[in-house]
Structure 1
Amino acid sequence: MEDNQLRSRGWFGKTGKDGFIYRAWMKNQGYPADEFDGRPVIGICNTFSELTPCNGHFRELAESVKRGVWEAGGFPVEFPVMSLGETLIKPTAMLYRNLASMDVEESIRANPIDGVVLLCGCDKTTPSLVMGAASVNIPTIVVSGGPMLTGKYRGKSIGTSDVWRFSEMHRKGEISQDELSNAEACMCRSNGHCAVMGTASTMACMVESLGLTLPENAAIPAADSRRKVIAHLSGRRIVQMVKEDLRLSDILTRQAFENAIMLNAAIGGSTNFVIHLLAIAGRIGVDLTLEDFNALCEKVPLLLNLQPSGGYFMEDFYYAGGLPVVMKEMLGLLHQEAITANGKTIAENAATAECFDTDVIATLAEPIKDLTGLAVLKGNLCEDGAVIKPSASLKPELMNHRGPAIVFEDIDDYKARLDDPNLPVDDNSILVLKNVGPKGYPGMPEVGNMSLPKKLLAKGVVDMVRISDGRMSGTGFGTVVLHVSPEAAVGGNLALVKDGDMIALDVANRSLILEVSDAELERRRADFQPLELGYNRGYVKLHLNHVMQAHQGADLDFLRGGSGDKVTRDSH
């Protein structure tokens, strides 16, 4: 791209009053006049926030990016956007993913930015930033914040997946509150996001699989100096991407999305991957549906031995060679010519990858598990689909299971009755949680991996089939069916399930069937009362009016497609 074609020239290239205004106020930060003479202006979109602990080191990471931008002849400008901290935001960070994406889209489009570096780490920060940037479609590169160092507790390695194990041990009386507090202090011992293949790590792998980062971005620990190096190199590279006019639409092709789906299955990535990838595809204009996932995933076994599907941690993944090793192993399945942010194909990027630990990264010939990392289910209980992560099941025999429903009408009902000694539940039962979907909660929280009833834990039960229209943390595990669509709050068949109804789960045949006749379902539907949502103002009202269902990525209907990089209206 020629200097006179840069977006930023529409601001800094002007003469007279307009140019005076645009440049003069920027100069109060101490920039010399020649910074405005045609250098590419690189926005550094920063999700730093002390309320987002996973991204708490991003001020420092942004400085590394800036050094790279300056070196390459660019003009870096850092700007904040809404940050989504998974551990603190109530009712759920997912409620605000689309709002944050709007913040990103409008911040980029309204300002003199020629290319953008997205600094993201905690779960929803990655998809929200990519969704917003995709809508504007200017040259973009992603820098992830990196995972924490592996936690250490009583001589053992621990990570976020152990939260669920510690919780169940505490509920069973096996560990005290003091012991729980000690483990808490040992787990998060460095900067960074979750140290397992949770949603944050999955998102970091997703953007590398899509080609939006430099190679090895996904797994470098936040505390490793090489995280700053890749940020520095990304700053250099984005300047070149602007000069080449390499835009998101050049990278985010149908082939890139298919590659990401297959690689996610191989690494045992979070089920949240599905809902975020569908939303990104909707923004960039790639026709991707839930049905595409099964065809692409069914031939991919689990290659990565990381919690929650395996035993190791993201730190181990990096030392074993990182995502390029998985890509190299799978090149025969992938679209090898898909272009990436460094201008090379994924095949070129993976060519020199080498595995240093086959206990962590396996081969297609000898995978960690034959079970795939993702399956999409269909049936009368999920007419528009549902998802399950077979590789995270603790009892593979539950992949084909038939049992009676124990129904919780909403999250409050679940919390009130789960540990009731009189709850008529056994290990053959199927726990069903309603009204935790995109509209029902609202925002589709990570409550789908329901805890097991206390009386079953006492008997040694470790897994049960659980079904909901919500999501679960990527750090969670078990035989959990999620994202049931249509959700209960809008009258999907999930809303009609009653205690004792028989449900049949058959993962091999990708089916989820409520064994109730159509006539009986219609009779029940006549008595169905829509959920009283009770939100009448602000963004939540906007969300409820416009959010789409899980199988459509739970984006807002008016945000699908792109806005382009033209400003809404030129001013001054």
Structure 2
Amino acid sequence: MDILGESKLNNDSWEFLTHAEGPKGKIEFTPEQLISEPSGNLFAQSQNTGMGWDPKKLWGTQFMILSTLGGMRGDDGRPIALGHHTGHFELGMLIETVANQIKDDDGIPYSAYCSDPCDGRSQGTSGMMDSLPYRNDAAIVMRRLSRSIPTTKGVMGIATCDKGLPAMMMALAGTPEKPTIIVPGGVTLAVEEGEDTAMIQSIGARYAQDEVTLEYAQDMGCKTCASPGGGCQFLGTAGTSQVIAESLGMTLPHAALTPSGTNIWLDTGRRSALALKNLVDNKINTKAILTDQAFENAMIVHAACGGSTNLILHLPAIAHAVKRKMMKVDDWTRINKLTPRLVDVLPNGPKGFPTSVFFSSGGVPEVMLKLRDEGLLNLDVMTASGKTLEENLNWWEQSEKRHFVRDQLVKSRGIDPEDVVHSLKNSKKKNMTSTVTFPKGNIAPEGSVVKSTAIDKTVIDEDGVYRKIGPARIFISEADAIKAVKDKGPNKIKAGDIMVIVCGGPKGTGMQEVAQITIALKYLPYGKEVALITDGRFSGVSTGACIGHIGPEALDGGPIGKLKENDMIEINIDTINLEGSLDLIGENEENKGIDWGNQQLKNRKIRNDLKPQDGIPEDTILWAHLQSLSGGAWNGCVYDYELIKKNSSI
């Protein structure tokens, strides 16, 4: 192996130049520009011609295209280098479409990237400790990239997945004076015969418990990502973030969850370039779109769709970036009590259609039509189309596009769109309860969250209340917990257990997702009889009685860090009235009551075996402390300079 270069690979492999003639033509500077413009703006045009731009076309309106593009895709679609995930692999096609439209309108497109990690790929690995912290870092980088060319008049953000799209929304929200627009990266196609991208993530646990064969695992694992681009086929954090971007008014109507790589996906990109020019021409900036009323609309649509609990972290962070009111638990509870779940999409059910089918049923605007008819939306908010939400919905209701996509769903799949996006009347018939509940109790005095609509209906009592009393199984790390799920011996997880994963919060792991466990429980036969509580968080695909975001976290002295093996825990979740409790009530199979639990947790000391996860990066430790000083998980895990200054010695 000739690493240093002892010989030539071929005859011309060492050839190079030191000088070149430079581009032909001339930059048509005016005397006024040469006298008054900063040198950076002048040199920028030399850079542009150096990159091959026609020097006669340097003076058009400039636009910045920010994206999370990852990997390298050849002209034939084959990978030259892999990305972190399918969600950013095809984004170059969108960027090219958008840039060409800007050029056709005599504008000048710039493109910059800040690629993003994959929460699915990092489940159960050390990579998860960088997942949520990445969001804040990326939002800063994206804003810096945008500001670094101050001559741009409008900014487009193209992003798809769990952290990249929230970061992009935070970045654009933090650019309030400029016109901005989002183009969601869409979704991967659903596999014809196989497992979706949620179910496949339980394949290791199912194999360990003899639920599937090796051959089956090999076959299903190969085909589950049925196309090379787009976010997952379920309404997890990636899909929900796309829904949120659209419901905030940051995208064109019917942009979220578009099947990646398809003609309609590229058409959305092209039209979004036209929309951004229109926003610039009409001086409609970001803060004119991201109003308090727009954020309320987004919360309502989140509830109607059964969205990921991770948006309880991300939506306040977007509001913080644009200096709007940050929503609190009381706001989420009010909205969820007001808003029924209308959408049947993975992972919630009852049937669980893939996101591409949700898109074909009419997607977000179809949901908003139903919500409009119930009088739930703020209709006079401005959107990225340059029109109000009311105008958008009036257009959508009679549009050719609406009829085309819905007819295609009926003709190609035999699915009635009304079975995907329900009316209020039909959703009640199917017992589709509202989305999230925020249990409190002596284990979670600051609160917690559960996607109550995704608890298996067979373990919920007739009055709509999930009730469970069971023994605590304590795990200091997710790694120990998944071992117990896969174990066949005496340490295995059994029906009736309540798994307790501690040290999973910001200071323990960077607030890891424990989706590999929740997904495994969903697809193991006894899983619905197991509950899980943690100071960490969950993937948007998580289902079941999984309670996360428990505060305070164990490493902040929270009561969850005082629990012991075989403590008796009581969980009550009212899925109708959206109320819940989470309490220590006894030990060693003896129910001693809540008062006993209150006193025990007051008297007990924090466990002496608690510690941050081994190998937690210093970057993540810094993030954990900064977001803690800024209000922590219940304040969106943001960086807030004023709170940091107030709560520290700065």
TM surpasses 0.5: yes
Determine which of 418, 422, 433 is the counterpart of 1:358. Answer: 418
Q: Deviations over 1:326-356 (max 9, x none)?
A: 0000011111212211122222212233684
d(CA) in 1 for partners of 2:46, 2:521: 65
Partner of 1:30: 52
CA offset at residue 542 of structure 1?
A: 2.2
The reply to whether residue 545 of structure 1 matches residue 625 of structure 2 is: yes
d(CA) in 2 for partners of 1:239, 1:64: 15
Partner of 1:145: 185
Partner of 1:434: 502
Contact kept in structure 1, 2:278 and 2:386, CA below 8 Å: no
Q: 1:249 corresponds to which letter in structure 2? A: K
Contact kept in structure 2, 1:449 and 1:477, CA below 8 Å: no
The reply to whether residue 286 of structure 1 matches residue 324 of structure 2 is: yes
| Identical-pair percentage | 26
Contact kept in structure 1, 2:155 and 2:179, CA below 8 Å: yes
d(CA) in 1 for partners of 2:340, 2:548: 20
CA offset at residue 80 of structure 1?
A: 1.3
Compared CA separation, residues 457 and 370, structure 1 to 2 (3 A) = closer
After the TM superposition, which of the residue ranges 388-397 and 206-215 deviates more from structure 2? 388-397
Q: 2:481 corresponds to which letter in structure 1? A: Y
Larger Rg: 2
Matched residue SS, 1:504: strand
Compared CA separation, residues 142 and 452, structure 1 to 2 (3 A) = closer
Contact kept in structure 1, 2:471 and 2:496, CA below 8 Å: yes
Partner of 2:297: 259
Partner of 2:220: 183
Matched residue SS, 1:274: helix
Matched residue SS, 1:513: strand
d(CA) in 2 for partners of 1:48, 1:450: 29
Matched residue SS, 2:471: strand
The reply to whether residue 219 of structure 1 matches residue 257 of structure 2 is: yes
CA offset at residue 317 of structure 1?
A: 1.3
CA offset at residue 293 of structure 1?
A: 0.3
Contact kept in structure 1, 2:68 and 2:88, CA below 8 Å: yes
Q: Deviations over 1:167-186 (max 9, x none)?
A: 45323313212211111122
Compared CA separation, residues 532 and 318, structure 1 to 2 (3 A) = closer
CA offset at residue 120 of structure 1?
A: 0.3
State the Cα RMSD in Å.
2.8
Contact kept in structure 2, 1:373 and 1:391, CA below 8 Å: yes
Q: 1:348 corresponds to which letter in structure 2? A: E
Compared CA separation, residues 63 and 126, structure 1 to 2 (3 A) = same
Compared CA separation, residues 446 and 345, structure 1 to 2 (3 A) = farther
Partner of 1:380: 442
The reply to whether residue 500 of structure 1 matches residue 522 of structure 2 is: no
Partner of 1:71: 104
Matched residue SS, 2:426: coil
How many residues are treated as equivalent by the alignment?
546
Determine which of 344, 355, 360 is the counterpart of 1:319. Answer: 360
d(CA) in 2 for partners of 1:327, 1:342: 16
Partner of 2:580: 510
Higher RCO (C-alpha 8 Å, min separation 6): 1
Report 1:102-501 matches (<5 A): 102-112=140-150, 113-137=152-176, 138-153=178-193, 158-164=195-201, 166-190=203-227, 191-287=229-325, 288-310=327-349, 311-331=352-372, 332-351=375-394, 352-353=396-397, 356=406, 357-367=417-427, 368-394=430-456, 395-397=459-461, 399-418=466-485, 419=487, 421-423=489-491, 426-447=494-515, 449-450=517-518, 457=524, 460-501=526-567
Contact kept in structure 1, 2:521 and 2:528, CA below 8 Å: no
d(CA) in 1 for partners of 2:33, 2:564: 61
Tell me the TM-score normalized by structure 1: 0.88
Contact kept in structure 2, 1:164 and 1:476, CA below 8 Å: no
Partner of 2:84: 52
Q: 1:489 corresponds to which letter in structure 2? A: L
Tell me the TM-score normalized by structure 2: 0.78
Q: Deviations over 1:253-311 (max 9, x none)?
A: 11111111111111111111211112112222222212210110123222111111112
After the TM superposition, which of the residue ranges 377-386 and 528-537 deviates more from structure 2? 528-537
After the TM superposition, which of the residue ranges 163-172 and 427-436 deviates more from structure 2? 163-172
Matched residue SS, 1:555: coil
CA offset at residue 372 of structure 1?
A: 1.2
Q: Deviations over 1:472-508 (max 9, x none)?
A: 2222322211111221121111111222333232222
Compared CA separation, residues 12 and 125, structure 1 to 2 (3 A) = farther
CA offset at residue 526 of structure 1?
A: 6.2
